[in-house]
């Protein structure tokens, strides 16, 4: 059975800190790993990673995938209160559509 | 413009009732999904439809029946509602690209919070 494990499950930091969120996975026929941010409503797409070692960047957020060690990290630098959310990691495998999600990291940024 | 829209946003009903949730996407995508998010925020896929055909049907009670009248709509009908069905149900869509299979992100609706009393 596919498994996606995120850590930590929750994290409280102060504004301006840098955070690293972790995602490890076990999935047959891996195709891609995706990160989503969920505030109050719909998960919103952040990144999709398919190749090892290539960093994806968007503003203060960046992510990288290691297909050999089967994990990904999501970094957020100079955090702001608006970064407070649940960050979800999901994997997609070949042969079946849809995503398998981890349980998420609940990130709280204190002013 | 709302890309993936679900109705209703909130649904409160009693055990044993039958209810439906509607989903529409205006992204031109050919694949739609239903996900269930429990109280611990864990998102789990229920169904996936591609071009109106069922692709994935995870271990979901047969009280749940998806219906896709066309590529832009995927509705979820639930019979004989139970307390354990209380959750947030998310609809999502994506576009299948044969050149880059499995490389299209899912776009989610805002969810329908179902409360069964």
Q: Which residue of B has its CA nearest to A41?
A: B110
The count of C-alpha atoms lying within 13 angstroms of the C-alpha of A95, restricted to the half-sphere facing its C-beta, is 5
Query: What token pair was written down for A18?
Result: 């840098």
pLDDT digits (tens, 9 = 90+) for B78-87: 999 999 999 9
Write out chain A residues lying below 8 Å of B102, CB-based: 31-32, 92-94, 97
Contact B90 A38 (CB under 8 A): no
Distance from CA of B52 to the nearest CA of A (A): 14
Query: Which domains, and CATH codes, for chain A?
Result: 3-110 (2.60.40.10)
Beta strand extents in B1-117 (DSSP E only): 4-7, 10-13, 19-25, 31-37, 43-50, 53-57, 64-70, 73-78, 87-94, 107-108, 112-116
Yes or no, beta carbons of A48 and B50 under 8 Å apart = no
**Pick from B21, B110, B22: which is nearest to A43 by CA?**
B110
**A96 — pLDDT class (breaks 50, 70, 90):** low
Say if the Cβ atoms of A42 and B45 lie within 8 Å: no
Domains of chain B: 4-116 (2.60.40.10)
The predicted-structure confidence for B65-117, as pLDDT tens digits, reads as follows: 999 999 899 999 999 999 999 999 999 998 877 776 667 889 999 999 999 99
Peptide bond into B8 cis (omega under 30): yes
Look up residue B46 and give its two tokens: 């229920």
């Amino acid at each position: 059975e596919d498994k996606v494990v995120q850590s930590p499950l929750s994290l409280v930091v102060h504004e301006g800190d840098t955070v690293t969120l972790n995602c490890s996975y076990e999935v047959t026929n891996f195709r891609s790993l995706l990160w989503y941010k969920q505030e109050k409503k719909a998960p919103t797409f952040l990144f999709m990673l398919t190749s090892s070692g290539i960093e994806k960047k968007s503003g203060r957020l960046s992510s990288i995938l290691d297909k050999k060690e089967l994990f990904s990290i999501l970094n957020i630098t100079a955090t702001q209160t608006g970064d407070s959310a649940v960050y979800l990691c999901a994997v997609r495998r070949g042969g079946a559509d849809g995503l398998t999600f981890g349980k998420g990291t609940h990130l709280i940024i204190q002013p | 413009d709302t890309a993936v829209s679900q109705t209703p946003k909130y649904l409160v009903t009693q055990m044993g009732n039958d209810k439906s949730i509607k989903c529409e996407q205006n992204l031109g995508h050919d694949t739609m999904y239903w996900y269930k998010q429990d109280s611990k925020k864990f998102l789990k896929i229920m169904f996936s439809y591609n071009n109106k055909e069922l692709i994935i049907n995870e271990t979901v009670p047969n009280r749940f029946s998806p219906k896709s009248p066309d590529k832009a709509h995927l509705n979820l009908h639930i019979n004989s509602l139970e307390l354990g069905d209380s959750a947030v149900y998310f609809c999502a869509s994506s576009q299948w690209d044969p050149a880059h299979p499995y490389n299209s992100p899912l776009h989610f609706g805002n969810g329908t919070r179902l409360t069964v009393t």
